[in-house]
């Protein structure tokens, strides 16, 4: 090839490339490399309002720019931060405007820790800074809740464990809301269940599931669920049923139960134990009252004895003074003065008789009798009031008992041990178990028809 032909060749001296041609050519060449993985430390991080991410990946010798477009950035699942070590997957190219080499990342994950674990840690730190986990916001459990709400999968074993435990310990008014406890729709479903029960006005809400793997607990680490628990007016018990791991729902709830059975135990007291405590308290009141009454009697006897000694001592002193005076008068034979002193002595003797210990003791005994009568009356009133209140509570509890509902003509219907609450759950030919107030029965469905309101 001659020198002239080389000069006329594309990219030669007489036919040079434009700057844009060179940049685009280099870009096409880099694109042919395809997707690659690159590891480096984030520097010069920028988050403009557009939602794109701009930063540089650097090692100990060099760095180059990286861009992650908004659609890819929203799918990362964690917050990219300055100084973080990332492993990025993407393509290489040239930014035409200033001819700058850069990487277009489609995916990135933290080095060492997975994106899911990092996202959970970042969310936990964020909520903790807001104070959602502070102990000062925890509400105490009521002693005897009038109504209890349960937000869980009603076809699972967890809800049956809760209902059974509450029924055995202290039967209460229960409201169950069926929610999804795993899957993409679970967080929104759980939030709706908590809000529905809270709006209904229950005093305690039990939210959770019957255990599961780490992935099954994702819904209870969702920010929406955590904030719904924190915003509830009712006392919330988290019963995720996973003793090893603690979810964010466990941290924000007022109380945490490791199992659904434990949640039922937290929600209501043991009626037998409560009755035992009431009887013990009644006996304690009687003992303390009797002890105070006995001490009052002892104090009164001691006071009477001391008063008697003081009076006797004073009387002896006065008599000794009289005897001395009488001797002095007798030695001088002053008849008039003797008569005057005898008159004073008689007056003194009369005054001493008016202050006789027997009169004081009689008055003290009368006051003691009145005090005993008042104490006996107050004790009887307190014991009667406590007994009446206890009977009233037992009557209310029995009225709320499922057995009382059955006695009014209602029945509990199950199919293969599953509770039937809707006609949609049965079909013709199904065998159903029917629980009545005084026994069990088996029924076969001949016809299913929806109720027309």
Give the Å distances, CA to CA, from 416 to 134, 165, 430. Answer: 45, 21, 10
Task: Please give the pLDDT value at position 283.
Answer: 82
* pLDDT score, position 453: 60
Query: What pLDDT score was predicted for residue 377?
Result: 84
The pLDDT score that the predictor gives to residue 422 is 84
How many Å apart are CA 326 and CA 320, to the nearest integer?
Answer: 10
Q: Which residue has the tokens 């013990």?
A: 280
Instruction: Write down the residue that tokens 């026994």 correspond to.
Output: 439
Predicted model pTM? 0.47
Ranges of residues in the chain whose predicted pLDDT is under 70:
1-11, 112-116, 212-215, 241-245, 329-338, 352-357, 359-360, 398-403, 452-453
Query: Alpha-carbon distance 216 to 180, whole Å?
Result: 11
The number of angstroms, rounded, from the C-alpha of 216 to the middle of its chain's C-alpha atoms is 23
Q: How far apart are CA 134 and CA 42, in angstroms?
A: 33
pLDDT at 21: 80
Task: Look at residue 316 in the predicted model and tell me its pLDDT.
Answer: 80
| 338-374 residue pLDDT tens | 677 777 777 777 776 666 667 667 777 888 888 888 8
Q: What is the pLDDT of residue 280?
A: 85
- Write down the CATH superfamily of domain 120-269: Response regulator (3.40.50.2300)
Instruction: Show me where the domains of the chain are located.
Output: 3-112, 120-269, 272-400, 407-444
Distance of CA 131 to the CA centre of its chain: 15
Helix (H) or strand (E) holding 433: strand 431-436
Q: Which helix (H) or strand (E) holds 89?
A: strand 85-95
State the pLDDT at residue 383.
Answer: 80
Q: What is the pLDDT of residue 354?
A: 66
The architecture that CATH gives domain 3-112 is Beta Barrel (2.40)
User: What pairing do the DSSP bridges indicate for beta strands 431-436 and 53-58?
Assistant: unpaired
Q: Two tokens at 201?
A: 């006005």
């Amino acid at each position: 090839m001659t020198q002239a032909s080389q000069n006329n060749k594309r990219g030669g001296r007489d036919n040079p490339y434009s700057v844009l041609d060179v940049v685009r050519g280099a870009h096409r060449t880099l694109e042919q490399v395809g997707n690659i993985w690159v590891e480096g430390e984030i520097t010069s991080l920028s988050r403009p309002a557009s939602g794109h991410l701009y930063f540089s990946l650097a090692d100990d010798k060099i760095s180059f720019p990286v861009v992650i477009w908004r659609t890819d950035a929203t799918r990362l699942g964690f917050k990219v931060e300055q100084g973080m070590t990332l492993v990025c997957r993407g393509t290489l190219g040239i930014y035409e405007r200033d001819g700058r080499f850069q990487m277009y990342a489609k995916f990135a994950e933290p080095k060492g820790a997975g994106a899911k674990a990092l996202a959970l840690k970042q969310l936990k730190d964020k909520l903790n800074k807001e104070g959602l986990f502070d102990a000062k916001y925890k509400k105490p459990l009521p002693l005897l809740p009038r109504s209890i709400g349960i937000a869980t999968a009603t076809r699972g074993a967890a809800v049956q464990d809760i209902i059974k435990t509450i029924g055995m310990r202290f039967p209460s008014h229960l409201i169950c809301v069926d929610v999804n406890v795993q899957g993409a729709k679970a967080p929104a479903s759980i939030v709706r269940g908590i809000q529905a029960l809270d709006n209904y006005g229950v005093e305690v809400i039990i939210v959770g599931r019957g255990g599961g793997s780490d992935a099954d607990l994702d819904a209870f680490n969702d920010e929406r669920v955590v904030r719904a628990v924190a915003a509830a007016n009712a006392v919330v018990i988290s019963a995720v049923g996973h003793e090893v791991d603690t979810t964010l729902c466990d941290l924000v709830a007022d109380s945490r139960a490791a199992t659904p059975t434990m949640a039922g135990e937290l929600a209501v007291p043991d009626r037998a134990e409560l009755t035992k405590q009431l009887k013990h308290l009644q006996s304690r009141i009687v003992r303390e009252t009797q002890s105070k009454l006995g001490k009052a009697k002892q104090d009164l006897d001691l006071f009477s004895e001391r008063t008697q000694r003081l009076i006797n001592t004073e009387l002896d002193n006065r008599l000794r003074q009289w005897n001395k005076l009488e001797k002095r008068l007798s030695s001088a034979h002053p008849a008039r003065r003797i008569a005057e002193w005898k008159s004073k002595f008689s007056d003194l003797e009369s005054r001493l008789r008016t202050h006789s210990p027997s009169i004081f003791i009689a008055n003290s005994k009368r006051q003691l009798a009145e005090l005993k009568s008042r104490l006996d009356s107050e004790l009887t009133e307190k014991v009667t009031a406590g007994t009446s209140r206890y009977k009233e509570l037992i009557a209310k509890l029995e009225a709320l008992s499922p057995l009382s509902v059955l006695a009014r003509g209602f029945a509990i219907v199950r199919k293969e041990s599953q509770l039937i609450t809707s006609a949609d759950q049965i079909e013709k030919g199904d065998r159903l178990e029917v629980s009545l107030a005084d026994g069990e029965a088996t029924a076969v469905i001949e016809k299913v028809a929806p109720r027309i309101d």
